[in-house]
Structure 1
Amino acid sequence: MSFAGTVPRGRPAGRPLFWTLVCAGLIAATAAILYAMGRVPICTCGTVKLWHGVVVSSENSQHLSDWYTPSHVIHGFLFYFATWLLAKRWPIGLGARAALAVVIEAAWEITENTDAVINRYREATIALDYFGDSIINSVADIVAMLAGFFLARWLPVWLTVLLALGMELVVGALIRDNLTLNVIMLLWPLDAVKAWQGGA
């Protein structure tokens, strides 16, 4: 978080067009890798929706945004903070930090769409209809992360934290899942949590 009004904003982006092209290239490369992995470009339903809000659905994670989009915005908050700490020790500008955030998010999108992780989701969480993301959804998730990254750049730290907590609480209340629960259920599945989620 650039933590406006709290900590220095850090080094300027420098060559913004260059880093924009780098980020775009990384996203395009991610899409190409996902395609090579056999991921579908768009939902097999044949349509592209701006929003799909049914979690227990074969169309979940297939469109541009869904209930898990806020998690990717929060990724951006966290990556901004992590790269801000990194920039305190090494001379890395904002553009390079954004590119690094894209690399991390892209690596997750690729990993998330491997058979091992897809099966893990289906076994350990309530995502019984989950068969991986469409490519357009993965690209939109990376863009959502970048939106969070730059929101954290401009918003004061207290508001960034408040937004993250608010998104986690609202999404958790509405669909009984969020970034925190997702991580818990992937790493340390809890039967009680799965049972509670299954009652949504």
Structure 2
Amino acid sequence: MQDPPTQPYQATRRDALQPALVLFAIAAVMTACLWAMGRVWWCEVGDVVPWSWDVWSPHNSQHLIDPYSLSHLEHGLALFLMLHLVAKRWLTQRQMIYIVAIVEAVWEIAENTPWMIERYRTATISLDYFGDSILNSLGDLVMCLIGVQIARKSSWWITVGLLVTLELVSVLWIRDSLLLNILMLTAPSDAIRTWQAGD
């Protein structure tokens, strides 16, 4: 008796692995670029815990998770929602995930260029910002992809509600948020900067 064909099973398994492999490749390219740019792997201050909650400390942006992880969660929510609303006729959900991951990876690289670091230091409250560690950038990418998965499983109004909630939590917690960050990078306001500094 002949064995049943295994091709359908193999194709299904390969199809299931493809997204993970593509996302791993995106993360690997991002990591290689950050390493080539001279970014450190981990916090050089010496703290080994995976989180840092003080935005004014040298640990900020050096650990896996920090208060700005919320804004990267928002990246995933907002980018996937926008793609779904404007391009769902032309793109599959898998393609949308890849696009969001690539945008986030490119942002992490751009965010750590000398020009952008200096922009953060002069235009926002991040006076002591000197770039992200590589593992922090990987953590940001993961948070973005978590946001994508939440948006995929939620209706548009739940996604919008989460975005508003995360903005409010960030403003109340650290006096900063995704929208404030965009505003301060593009059109700095002395009044907002003073308020953020607690003066």
Shared fold by TM > 0.5? yes
Contact 1:16–1:95 (Cα < 8 Å) also in 2: no
Where do 5+ consecutive residues of structure 2 fail to align?
1-13
- Post-superposition shift, 1:135? 0.3
Q: Give 1:155's aligned residue.
A: 154
Partner of 1:33: 33
User: Helix, strand or coil for the counterpart of 2:51?
Assistant: coil
Output the CA distance in 1 between the equivalents of 2:59 and 2:137.
13
| CA distance in structure 2 between the partners assigned to 1:49 and 1:103 by the alignment | 28
The worse-fitting range, judged by mean Cα deviation, of 60-69 and 40-49 is 40-49
Correspondence for 1:5 = none
Equivalent residue number for residue 138 of structure 2:
139
| Conserved? CA contact 2:65–2:139, under 8 Å | yes
SS of residue matched to 1:132: coil
Alignment RMSD, CA only?
1.5
Pair member with larger Rg: 2
- 1:186, distance to aligned residue in structure 2 (A): 0.3
Q: For CA contacts below 8 A with separation 6 or more, give which structure has more relative contact order.
A: 1
- 1:191: Cα distance to partner? 0.5
Secondary structure (helix, strand or coil) at the match of 2:118 reads helix
1:121–1:36 CA distance, 2 compared to 1 (3 A): same
- 1:82 matched to which residue of 2? 82
In the alignment, which residue of structure 1 is the partner of 2:172? 173
Deviant stretches of 4+, over 3 Å: none
| Deviation at residue 84 of structure 1 after TM alignment | 1.4
Between the aligned residues of both structures, percent identity stands at: 46
Q: Following the alignment from structure 1 to structure 2, what is the Cα–Cα distance between the partners of residues 144 and 41?
A: 18
3-state SS of the aligned residue for 1:177? coil
Are 1:62 and 1:133, in contact at CA under 8 Å, matched by a contact in 2? yes
CA distance in 1, matches of 2:130, 2:143: 21
State the partner residue of 1:104: 103
Paired residues for 1:57-96 under 5 Å: 57-90=57-90, 92-96=91-95
Higher helix proportion (structure 1 or 2)? 2
Partner SS, residue 58 of structure 2:
coil
Aligned length, in residue pairs = 186
Distance of 1:196 and 1:160 partners within structure 2: 29
Q: State the SS of the aligned residue for 2:38.
A: coil
Q: TM-score, normalised by structure 1?
A: 0.88
Shift of 1:15: 2.4
CA distance in 1, matches of 2:166, 2:16: 30
Displacement after TM superposition at 1:86 (Å): 4.9
Higher mean C-alpha deviation, range 179-188 or range 153-162: 153-162
Q: Which residue of 2 aligns with 1:24?
A: 24
Q: Which amino acid aligns with 2:197?
A: G
Q: Distance in 2 between matches of 1:60 and 1:15?
A: 38
